[in-house]
Structure 1
């Protein structure tokens, strides 16, 4: 989960429901700055486990300043996007189909796709399902390998808690656990605490349980990632804790992906280092059209070598 430091909408940003062939999705849509000529393209941003579109608030402005339209989305059952209660609605393919529909509904042709944490798992599934819908794929603090053991324990505990406790009790327990890692005396502003609770209570238990199930059961997808016919980018902070940084570096090397490590950042460079991250992302996207064919060939070679 990312914790936004401010809830203010950046300039040129609209909040609305994006109508797609698979339903309506709550989005934050940031237009490029008028001075950014030419316009460079569109990026679709997918949030992580227990997160939401607001996780990208600090990133939207810098991306727009660089000439990109940036659209952050609540997936089905997340925060302000309604979702079914049934388990089948949150399977990998269903979530991937949603992303393909979102990309199509933006009306800008193929888009750059970025998934943060659990959102990276969904982004990979969408890119595998419909590679022609995306110009590039960025995994932010996310990998094709399994999450760290401590995170697997945490996800299992959360799924068990949902079966035994009310959503309110689970929220209180989660807040207490999160507070143990914060600096003594540091507290979140009341509006951020209220937002985090509202987001938690609005998110479907079925979505949280389904996301946890996918995180725990997702097989190593390095070979499949390397075979994708699009430029790849694996980015994370050097203090990343959810995925082992050694595994992320190895995945980048095996797939031929562009590799970014943000110094001093943890699991959410999108919150802690938005300006630096935006510069790294836009530099990668600016080069994507030129590197698409060579990287696809490198990825196929890496996949064949690993088989």
Structure 2
């Protein structure tokens, strides 16, 4: 999981519920400084939340982008159904499309971190005209690496057998991503991480974990997208193979960013560098990107 290093809200940030055609979602909504140059929708990863993007909100908004990070259904402060059927890929993708529409800013830049990338690419396939671009952050079209597949399988099995608190304690012991809070706010952050875990529905963790274990390769899906595509990850990424990510970027013609010194969560460890690279991608001339942006938000095909 991503572990924010501070819970302080950047200037111009409002925590509220974004009301959409598919329900209300908890968001952190940061207004741009000066004229708006675009709007960005950020989808968090497995066991994560909107707070994983706190480090990005300031730099992106300072550059003129309205930046909105969201808790998905059943995740942290957003309610969700108790059954796993409510967390299928199509349902989550439709949520993202509805969130983009509810922002009221026309097509938005879509970014999905880790598992959020799986949702983001499904949403982009479902309604390509809803989005100006797609960024997969630490997320690939192929399978996650074997150690992470094992971890997800163990987590799902544990959730079916043990109290949630016991599973949390085991997760803390097993977590090897090297992103433990290392600030004066460490006790506050540790409390937040536990609250986030306890508030997230078991059905969400089980259902989305199942999607992470899928053997489906989304390279062809990404190649078919008619929008600018960006694949970004840390040089020390460990959830997906960096070799596979680089190969996927080459096969799809995606803009390709590798953040030196970063692991699975450049949004936490290197937010300003990542923000600079995102802005560079968004502001490249359309002639240098894969395709020009499609102007209208009309749903297309229906991913599984």
Q: TM-score range by the shorter chain?
A: over 0.9
Q: Structure 2: where are the runs of 5+ without partners? A: 294-304
Q: How many angstroms apart in 2 are the aligned matches of 1:193 and 1:80? A: 17
1:30-86 deviations in Å (ceiling 9; x for gaps): 11112xx4x210010000000000000011000011111100000000000000101
Aligned length: 292
Matched, 1:272 2:292: no
Counterpart residue number, 1:236: 233
Maintained 8 Å contact 1:46/1:75: yes
1:138-161 deviations in Å (ceiling 9; x for gaps): 000001010000000000000010
Q: How far has the Cα of 1:290 moved from its partner? A: 4.3
SS in 2 for 1:136: strand
Maintained 8 Å contact 2:138/2:233: yes
Q: How far has the Cα of 1:185 moved from its partner? A: 12
Q: How far has the Cα of 1:181 moved from its partner? A: 5.7
Counterpart residue number, 1:77: 74
Q: Structure 1: where are the runs of 5+ without partners? A: 297-307
Q: How many angstroms apart in 1 are the aligned matches of 2:134 and 2:163? A: 37
TM-score with structure 1 setting the length: 0.92
Matched, 1:105 2:106: no
Matched, 1:68 2:59: no
SS in 2 for 1:24: strand
| Range that drifts further, 249-258 or 182-191 | 182-191
Counterpart residue number, 2:193: 196
Counterpart residue number, 1:54: 51
Q: How does 1:140-151 map to 2 (within 5 A)?
A: 140-151=137-148
Counterpart residue number, 1:174: 171
TM-score with structure 2 setting the length: 0.92
Maintained 8 Å contact 1:135/1:288: no
1:82-107 deviations in Å (ceiling 9; x for gaps): 00101110000000000000000000
Poorly superposed stretches of 4+, deviation over 2 Å: 180-188, 288-296
Q: How many angstroms apart in 2 are the aligned matches of 1:116 and 1:212? A: 15
Q: Tell me which of the two structures has the higher relative contact order, counting C-alpha pairs closer than 8 angstroms and 6 or more residues apart.
A: 2
1:214–1:129: structure 2 CA closer, same or farther, 3 Å change rule? same
Q: How many angstroms apart in 2 are the aligned matches of 1:203 and 1:119? A: 15
